Amino acid sequence: MAATAGILLLPLLMTTTAVMMQAALFRQAEAGEPPYSCGPRSASLAQGYAFCDARLPASRRAADLVARLTVAEKVAQLGDEASGVPRLGVPPYKWWSEGLHGLSYWGHGMHFDGSIRGITSFPQVLLTAASFDDQLWFRIAQAIGTEARALYNLGQAEGLTIWSPNVNIFRDPRWGRGQETPGEDPATASKYAVAFVRGLQGSSPAALRTSACCKHATAYDLEDWNGVARYNFNAKVTAQDLADTYNPPFKSCVVDGKATCIMCAYTSINGVPACADSDLLTKTVRGEWGLEGYVSSDCDAVAIMRDAQRYAPTPEDTVAVAIKAGLDLNCGNYTQVHGMAAIQQGKMTEKDVDKALTNLFTVRMRLGHFDGDPRSNGVYGHLGAADVCTKAHKDLALEAAQDGIVLLKNDAGILPLDRSAVASAAVIGPNANDPFALNGNYFGPPCETTTPLQAIQSYVKGVRFLAGCSSAACVFAATGQAVALASSSDHVILFMGLSQEQEKEGLDRTSLLLPGMQQNLITAVASAAKRPVILVLLTGGPVDITFAKNNPKIGAILWAGYPGQAGGLAIAKVLFGDHNPSGRLPVTWYPEEFTKVPMTDMRMRADPATGYPGRSYRFYQGKPVYKFGYGLSYSKFSRRLVSGTKPGRPNTNLLAGLTANPTADGGASYHVEEIGAEGCEQLKFPTVVEVQNHGPMDGKHSVLMFLRWPNATTGVSRPTSQLVGFQSQHVKAGEKVRVGFEVSPCEHLSRATENGKKVIDRGSHLLMVEEDDGWEISFEA
C-alpha cells in the first residue's frame, strides 16, 4: 500500500533517463542480482550526484540523496519495505531480515528458493550462551554474516540489515522468548552483544558485512500473561534496575560493539511507549551512547501505540511523536500511510523526516548499496554459494552445540557410556526424533539435520525407539509400552522437555513443570529400567525437575537447549564420551512455586517485607533447583586466584580528592561519574586464575569470576553476587593453565544506586572463583 502511494505521487511524465533506469532496475531484479545503485548503468552516476561518490563520508552521501527526494518519496522510505526511486536509480529495499542463530524464514529480506535452499542452523542463543565463550559467539555471528552477504550477492536477499541479536535480560523463567537471549546476567548479555555485533558487521566500519540490530530496548520480557499482553503492558521499572540490569546490554551493543541499529520494544516503560520515548531513543541511545546508525520499531509497534496503547489521539500524532522522539524506521507501513498527512497537518516537519532518512541511508551507504555492483566493487563481492553451509560452518554448529550442553546430574559416573558395553538401548521421548525440536524459534532451513535418535543409532546397534507422547505437550502417554521397552533394554535414554507449543514469541508459560504426562512417564520408565536412566532435556527456558534431580533411578540429566542442526550428534558425542561437557547454566532454574510471582512485577531486588523473592542469581532469595553457572564435567577441575604472581591492585590514590558519599548502612561510596574516564582507566588491574584439570579427560572449562560484598545488606540493595567476567579455556588432563582477567572497578565492582547512578563502595570487595575462596580488594582513599 505504501509503495503504491509513493508511485502515484511521482510525476506522471518521467524523463527518458528515469524510464531507462526503472527498466534497468526491473532487469536487475529479474536476473537475480543484488539491489544496488550507482554502477555503470546508473543514471545518477552519469549525472555526477554526490551520493554516488564513494570518496565522500557515508553521512554526507546520505544527506545528498535525501535532499534530492520529494516529500512523497521520503515518506515512502519510512517503512521496512521501502519503495524504490527509479529516477535516481535507487532500488526498493527490505530492511527486515533475521539472523538470531542462522538466517531465518522470519522477515522479508531473505529467500531460500534459488540456488541456495539451506543455511547453517546454529543452536538457539541460550544454549550457545551456556558455553561462556565470547570467541565462539563471535565466530557464529561471523558465519551468519558471511552467509547473509553470500545470499545477497546471489540475488536471494533484498537486504543486509539483520535484526539480531536479542539481548533482553531473561528476567522471568516463564518468558516465551527467553530462549532467544544470552540469559539473565547483564554482564554476560553485554559481552554476548559485543561479540555478536562485531561478528555480524565485520571489522571495517566503512564497509559493513551486514548491519546488526540489538533488540528490544528496553525492559521487554513478557508476551502474554494473565490477560496482560506485550502490546499494552506498562513496565514499571526503577532507575536502579534500568541502570544495572536492563540497559547495560544495549549500551554495550552501541558503545563497544558499534551496532548500527537499536530496535525499540512494544512495551511502555513507566507510562511511555519505548518507541515514543525521546529520553531513551535520543538522549540515551543516540546522545549518551553515541549510536551511529538507525532506530527501528518492533513490527507494527507504531500502530500499536495508537490502537492498543492509546498514547496519541490520531494516527498522524502517533507517527509524529515517534519520529520526533528519535525513531527512524517503522517495521510495518503505518508511518508510510500516515506520514504525509502528519507533515501536512504540521504534526512533524520535513526536516524531522530528513533526519530519520539520513540515518537510514547512511547505513545503506556503509553496506555498499550505492557503490555499484557489490560483486565486482565490494569488499565482500567474492562471497557466493560456496560460502554457505561450508564444512567449517557445519563444524562450528557442532562445536557450539557441544560446548553449550550442560551436565546437570551424573550419579556414580553413569556417563559417559561405553559404546562397546551397550548391548541394547531404548530411546524414549517426543524430542528424540523430531527435527523441529532442534530449532527453537527464528530458524531457517538447515543445510542438514541429525536428530538424537539418528546420532545414537550411529554409535550403537540394537536401538529401539518409542516417542511415548505424540508431542512435547504429552497430553496422552504410552506409559505401558514405554515401561515394557525400558524393562527389556540394557540402557534407557529419555528425550523430553518443551517445544514451541509451550514457549515462543507471543506465548509465555504458566508452569515451570514439564508439560502434560511427561513427569509420570519419566518416573514410570525410570522405575522399570534395569539401571538408572539418562534424561536429556530439550528446552529453551528452565524447568522444575526437582523430581528427577532427587530420584536415584534417574542417574544422569543433560540440558541441551534447542541445539540446532548438529544437535543430535552433539548430544550423542557427550553421551558416549567423545566430548567432555563444559556448559554452565546462563539462567537460574527456579522451583514451581516461583510461578506465584506476577510476571508483571519488574523488580529485580527482593522485598522480604512482602515476600517478594527477587529475580536472578543476583537477587533471588529462594532456593533454586539449579543455580546460575552450574554445570558438571566428566573431569574434576579446580580454580584458584593466584596470589604468588603479585596480582595487580587498584591504584586508589586517585580517590583522595573525591568526596565519599554516605550509604544507608553507615558506609560510603564514590560516584563513578566523579572518578571520570581517565580515573576509571587508571583503576584497572589484572588478576590471574590458575585452573587445573585433575582428569580423567581433556576438556574445556569456563572460569566465572564473581564479586561479593562482605557487608552486603538489603538496606543498600547490593546484589548477593555479581559476575565480573569469564574466560573459556581448553585444559588437558593433568594440566595446569593460567587465565588472565582485567578488572575494571568502575565497570565490574560498581553498583547502581536508587537514582540509577553507578558508585563504588568504600571498603572491602571480594573477587571469587570458588564458593569458599576469595581475594579481598579494598577501596580506601
CA pair distance 171, 324, nearest whole angstrom = 31
In three-state form (DSSP H/G/I as H, E/B as E, the rest C), the secondary structure along 291-341 is CCCEEEECCCHHHHHHHCCCCCCCHHHHHHHHHHHCCCEECCCHHHHHHHH
298 as an active site residue: the answer is yes
CA pair distance 608, 568, nearest whole angstrom = 44
Q: What is the chain's length? A: 781
Which residues neighbour 155 within 8 Å (Cβ) at sequence distance 6 or greater?
A: 29, 31, 32, 33, 34, 114
CA pair distance 15, 13, nearest whole angstrom = 7
What is the pLDDT at residue 4?
Answer: 31
For residue 710, say if its preceding peptide bond is cis, omega within 30 degrees of 0: no
What is the pLDDT at residue 711?
Answer: 65
Ramachandran quadrant class, 332 (left: phi over 0; alpha: psi -120 to 50; beta: rest) = left
Residue 22: Cβ-neighbour burial (10 angstroms; 0-12, 13-18, 19+): middle
Inter-residue contact 330 to 342 (CB < 8 Å): no
What is the pLDDT at residue 643?
Answer: 66
Spans in the chain with pLDDT lower than 70? 1-33, 41-46, 643-652, 654, 711-716, 771-774, 780-781
CA pair distance 120, 99, nearest whole angstrom = 11
pLDDT single digits (tens) 361-395: 999 999 999 998 888 877 899 999 999 999 999 99
List phi, psi (to 5°) of 452.
Answer: -55, -40
What is the pLDDT at residue 777?
Answer: 76
Inter-residue contact 207 to 370 (CB < 8 Å): no
Q: Helices 567-575 and 391-404 meet at what angle, rounded to 10?
A: 50
What is the DSSP code (8-state) at residue 51? Answer: G
CA 393 to chain centroid, in Å, comes to 19
Which residue of the set 172, 244, 298, 403 is catalytic? 298
CA pair distance 274, 278, nearest whole angstrom = 9
Of all residues in the chain, what percent carry a pLDDT higher than 90?
A: 83
In order of 243, 585, 725, the CA distances from 692 in angstroms are 37, 21, 19
Inter-residue contact 571 to 580 (CB < 8 Å): no
Strands 93-94 and 81-82, how do they pair? antiparallel
Which residues neighbour 322 within 8 Å (Cβ) at sequence distance 6 or greater?
A: 275, 276, 297, 302, 305, 330, 335
Inter-residue contact 712 to 720 (CB < 8 Å): yes
Inter-residue contact 202 to 136 (CB < 8 Å): no
Rg of the Cα atoms in the chain: 27
SS3 at position 668: strand
What is the pLDDT at residue 39?
Answer: 78
Which residues neighbour 120 within 8 Å (Cβ) at sequence distance 6 or greater?
A: 102, 143, 144, 147, 388, 389, 390, 393, 394, 396, 397, 446, 447, 565
pLDDT single digits (tens) 627-675: 999 999 999 999 998 864 444 566 667 677 777 788 777 778 889 998 8
